[in-house]
Amino acid sequence: MSEPVIVAKDLVKYYKERGFFAGRKLALNRFNLEVNKGETVAVLGPNGAGKTTFLRIIFGLIYPSGGEIRVFGRTAEDINWRVRAGYVPEFYNPARFLTAQELLEISARTNGMSRKNFEKALEWLEEKLGIKELLALRVRQFSRGMLQQLALASALIHNPELVVLDEPTANLDALSRRKLKELLKELSGQGKTILLSSHILSEVEELCNKVVIIKNGQVIKQGSTEELLGREEGYLICFKAPSQLPEQLDKLGAISMDAERKIISLSVSDEYKKDLVVKVLSENNIPIELLEPKQKTLEEYFLELTQQEALEKYFLEIVKEQ
């Protein structure tokens, strides 16, 4: 197996707090993570968990207080590997007097691109992200969504092997988000390594093949979405709403209805009840639209995990007080 693209080992990061009697705030606490070539990895966590801190340390924008970070086998301070990577920060703040095209030209030159390759890459980005109308405008004329599109284009202009994205869909409209998702899927299919942080967990579930959940600066869970979510007990059965619902169904599971589509969803806890529901529907000539094992969403898993961690901490504090 090839060497991991990113290796974080026992990373520690303290921030100085403001104020006369201020101390230090711990942002990363012996943080460990490996990202392998070709993986699309999401780093998730509550606000203040340390996600942005970790991403900024990767690119040498801030330095760790302890531990080690290596990218392509080199230290974060070694700038030579950065031509192989692209980074979209949480807050992109380029020079406001420059045009989008001028900024992209600077990014291309910084990463050693020829004029010919730059023009080809620009055409590709126009097709994938729809940035053509932005190129002649100065940054001071940009909305937040336009600024995010420019940040993405600047990170991808040189066709990097590693793409790191901090809240990449922030401020994007629905069409731009869809284009970005399609582009990230395409890059993943090409074997690029993608590391992202996002609060939109449905998109993470769609895009990523590995999820890392952090809290209080530590990794508390990691694995593929299949490993983390597993399979929940029970079944979901959907069918068109009949003029009269058979009484037996109320006793078999939890019923909900999509009034607009006139679809009833029935959640049952086990296979025995699933078979009873199928039998009742068949006897009443009600066709089944969908029958599948219940599956937790990533959002449900994330909320359960973080709430469980909070409860464990709460009870531990009670025990200590006693």
Domain ranges of the chain: 38-52+79-228, 231-295
What's the mean pLDDT in 100-123? Answer: 94
Q: What does the angle CA 153 – CA 158 – CA 163 come to, to the nearest 5 degrees?
A: 70
Count other C-beta atoms under 10 Å from residue 140's C-beta.
Answer: 9
Q: What does the angle CA 92 – CA 203 – CA 166 come to, to the nearest 5 degrees?
A: 20
Mean pLDDT of the chain: 88
**Rounded CA separation 321/20 (Å):** 30
pLDDT category of residue 163 using cuts at 50, 70 and 90: very high
Task: Please check the confidence at residue 312 and state whether its pLDDT lies above 70.
Answer: no
What's the mean pLDDT in 242-271? Answer: 88
> pTM for the full model?
0.76
What's the mean pLDDT in 271-279? Answer: 91
Q: Quote the pLDDT of residue 19.
A: 66
pLDDT category of residue 300 using cuts at 50, 70 and 90: confident
What's the mean pLDDT in 192-214? Answer: 89
71 has which bridge partners?
6, 74
For 38-52+79-228, the fitting CATH number among 3.40.50.300, 3.40.640.10, 3.30.540.10, 3.30.530.20 is 3.40.50.300
pLDDT category of residue 263 using cuts at 50, 70 and 90: very high
Instruction: Indicate the class that CATH gives domain 231-295.
Output: alpha beta
